[in-house]
Amino acid sequence: AQTVTQSQPEMSVQEAETVTLSCTYDTSESDYYLFWYKQPPSRQMILVIRQEAYKQQNATENRFSVNFQKAAKSFSLKISDSQLGDAAMYFCAYTGNTGKLIFGQGTTLQVKP
């Protein structure tokens, strides 16, 4: 069975600085997709970034980028120029041939002014 692990329950970053959130996963599938979702205090789940496993190039979305290491089964999220609005719980997620999303435990990010 596939698993997703986020080993950092809480992280903090100074406004305008850079922070990296860690995520590792385990799977025997060759085709799969990885996601980072953000859940602010409103609890609305918001897609941050998406990565197809078959693509070697790391996905980027403005200030958000990933470091996808397929062999190491690692999928970290880097947030550059952190803003107060980035404060949220971040979930790493995996989907394979079942179509179901498997979530990590989540990392709560605090942004300090």
Partner 1 sequence: GAVVSQHPSRVICKSGTSVKIECRSLDFQATTMFWYRQFPKQSLMLMATSNEGSKATYEQGVEKDKFLINHASLTLSTLTVTSAHPEDSSFYICSASSGLEGETQYFGPGTRLLVL
User: Contact positions toward partner 1, by CB under 8 A?
Assistant: 31-33, 35, 37, 42-47, 50, 52, 89, 91, 95, 97, 99-101, 103-106, 108
DSSP classification of residue 59: P
Q: How far apart are CA 106 and CA 36, in angstroms?
A: 10
Nearer to partner 1, 36 or 79 (CB): 36
Query: Which residue bears the tokens 């922070």?
Result: 19
For partner 1, the closer CB: 69 or 105? 105
Cα–Cα distance list, 42 to 35, 39, 81, 106 (Å): 20, 7, 23, 16
Smallest distance from partner 1 to CB 83, Å: 20
85 vs 99, beta carbon nearer partner 1: 99
Q: Pick the closest to residue 6 from 28, 27, 26, 21 (CA basis).
A: 21
| Distance of closest approach, residue 50 Cβ to partner 1, in angstroms | 6
C-alpha Rg value of the chain to the nearest Å: 13
Q: Minimum Å distance from CB 43 to partner 1?
A: 5
In the bound complex, what is the minimum distance in angstroms from residue 101's beta carbon to partner 1? Answer: 6
